[in-house]
Amino acid sequence: MTKLPFYEKVGYAMGDAAANLVWRGALAYLAVFYTDTFGLTAAAAAMLFLVVRLSDGVTDIIMGMIADRTNTRWGKFRPWILWSTPFLALFMVLAFTTPDLSYTGKLIYAYVTYIGLTLAYTLNNVPYSALMGVMTPSDTERTSLSGFRFAGAFAGGLLVMGFLPDLVAYFGDGNDAMGYQYSMYLFAAILIVLMVITFASTKERIIPEIDESTSLKAELGDLLKNLPFIILPLLSVTLFFYYRDIYSGLFFIVVMASMWVLIKGLIKKSPDDMSGTQRDMVDLLTNKPWLILLGMGFLTMMFNGIKYGTIAYYFKYQVGDELMAGKYFIALLVVSILGALATGYLSSKLGKRKLFIVSLILSGLLTACFYWVPKGNIQAIFILGCSAEFFAAMMPTLFFTMLGDSADYSEWKNGRRATGLIYSAGTFVQKTGGGFAGALVLVVLAGYGYDGMDKATVEASLPGMQLLMSWIPAAFAFAGAALMIFYPLTSKENQQIGDELIQRRANLVSV
């Protein structure tokens, strides 16, 4: 059976509705919470976002390896959704709690709770994302399932982004710190219920063969030896992004050149001379569709993350109505649900690659137009924002279904399928993009002299907010459209690969 029942698609969507109570809530409000309520400087919060993303580079890949090797009566990926949910709910509350500490104590607390939040999210969302790759072998059904998933994601985001300002005002009654904390209690309870529904209503149908010649302990030890491939490039990008001087630039160039030489040497090695982790890395590094999607995940998350990370500031200071941000988020997310659900139909007409390019160009152009919106013109803000968001909602929907296509391609080409690892890299670049997007918002605001605890600095930072709502995110959309031109898999090729893999698996079962 390749066609998924409606209830299972809805049940799967509930998981991303739950995850986006965290993901979109943190993405949209955590920066402004840190600067305007918690009391961190914009520069310190920017460094926090960047440093935490370095840990994600390791934990996402480790989680992908662990999930691939998990074998229970519930499957490989579903159990992790259930096991990780209590920790995700706990750290969601802790991250938005304001303890009575010194500035240094608050900074340490922010690092601990934000790292805990991202780690819990990794334990939950890497297996959740990989689950889509084993629920059905049909690439068209995966596209439909991805549409349901992101409709759920946007609905979950709607709860947080649309109603959080009002809930903070209601629960806090003038005390924003208390308002944030009690609001998160409510969202944490909803998260737990939705995750249980996802676990209970979904089923894993594809059972990938995993190389059992080495233990997980040996694989993780091998990964530890190869960590420079992950950490050094991220560190060089982070330092150059934050400091932007000659020294960080030289470090970036040296690291990237060294990585290129090492990767070329690794690819030339005989498979018999490679460890399991190295074979996985080579499979990924020679998987052109996956490499392009890796870049697309980062660029589209930068595009969406910068916009969403700026909205709370934009409405608070540029529009002058902080609560209006909630109404704007509601409008965006209603449109996002429609865009996600329309993706399956439009991709069947245009193809996923062409639809991805069209959505990037149109959403980028509409976003760039924000630069010319007169201050306080609410009607123009809503019309442009909603129009751009309809196409922007298709980007993550297409991205995750195309990751499934790249997993099929890897299995077809190499005879090996590491679904968890492929999807963990996808969630990693999304989180990395989200972290860099949040950091970029804060870096730009800091460059204009913004200090959330000093209202006298706001006026000088307004031009920066205007750029962050328009040309800065639009540039990432246009870069993504250019990159997507080189994506090699067509709908016809996906169908041929899928049919051949079904036949291969049938032959293995008959033997």
Q: What span, in angstroms and rounded, lies between the C-alpha atoms of 457 and 402?
A: 44
Say what the pLDDT of residue 49 is. 79
Checking if the pLDDT of 354 tops 70, the result is yes
415: left (phi over 0), alpha (psi -120 to 50) or beta: left
- Return the minimum-mean-pLDDT range out of 253-267, 269-283, 303-317, 475-489: 269-283
Give residue-wise pLDDT tens across range 272-305.
Answer: 666 666 666 666 677 788 888 888 888 988 898 8
Check if the beta carbon of residue 391 is closer than 8 Å to that of residue 358.
yes
Instruction: Assess whether pLDDT exceeds 80 at residue 349.
Output: yes
Superfamily of structural domain 6-214+275-510: MFS general substrate transporter like domains (1.20.1250.20)
Average pLDDT, the chain: 81
Gap between the Cα atoms of 205 and 131, Å rounded:
10
Instruction: Say how many CA atoms lie within 13 Å of 281 toward its Cβ.
Output: 24
Averaged pLDDT, 144-150: 81
Question: 434: Cβ–Cβ under 8 A, 6 or more apart, which residues?
Answer: 23, 27, 301, 305
> What's residue 419's pLDDT?
59
Mean pLDDT of 158-162: 75
Q: What is the pLDDT of residues 442-466, one digit of tens each?
A: 888 888 888 766 777 878 888 888 8
Model confidence band, residue 485 (pLDDT cutoffs 50, 70, 90): very high
Confidence of residue 1 (pLDDT cuts 50, 70, 90): very low
Residue with tokens 């090699």: 488
Q: Which of 371, 388, 379, 392 is nearest to 464 (CA)?
A: 371
Assess whether pLDDT exceeds 90 at residue 332: no
The whole-number average pLDDT for the span 145-151 is 81
Q: Find out whether 405 and 487 touch, Cβ atoms under 8 Å.
A: no
pLDDT above 90 coverage of the chain, percent: 24
For residue 211, is pLDDT > 80?
A: no
Closest residue by Cα to residue 428 from 110, 52, 146, 152: 52
213: pLDDT strictly greater than 80: no
Among residues 62, 185, 61, 80, which one has the least CA distance to residue 125?
A: 80
The 10 Å Cβ neighbour count of residue 429 is: 23
Average pLDDT estimate for 193-220: 76
Give the residue-averaged pLDDT of 427-456.
Answer: 77
Position with higher pLDDT, 436 vs 128: 128
At residue 146 the predicted structure's pLDDT band, cuts being 50, 70 and 90, is confident
Q: How far apart are CA 365 and CA 94, in angstroms?
A: 39
List all residues 6 or more positions away from 102 whose beta carbon is below 8 Å from its beta carbon: none
Q: 72 forms bridges with which residues in the sheet?
A: 75
What confidence category does residue 110 fall into, taking pLDDT thresholds of 50, 70 and 90? very high
Is residue 509's pLDDT more than 60? no
pLDDT digits (tens, 9 = 90+) for 52-99: 766 666 777 778 778 877 888 888 899 999 999 999 999 999 999 999
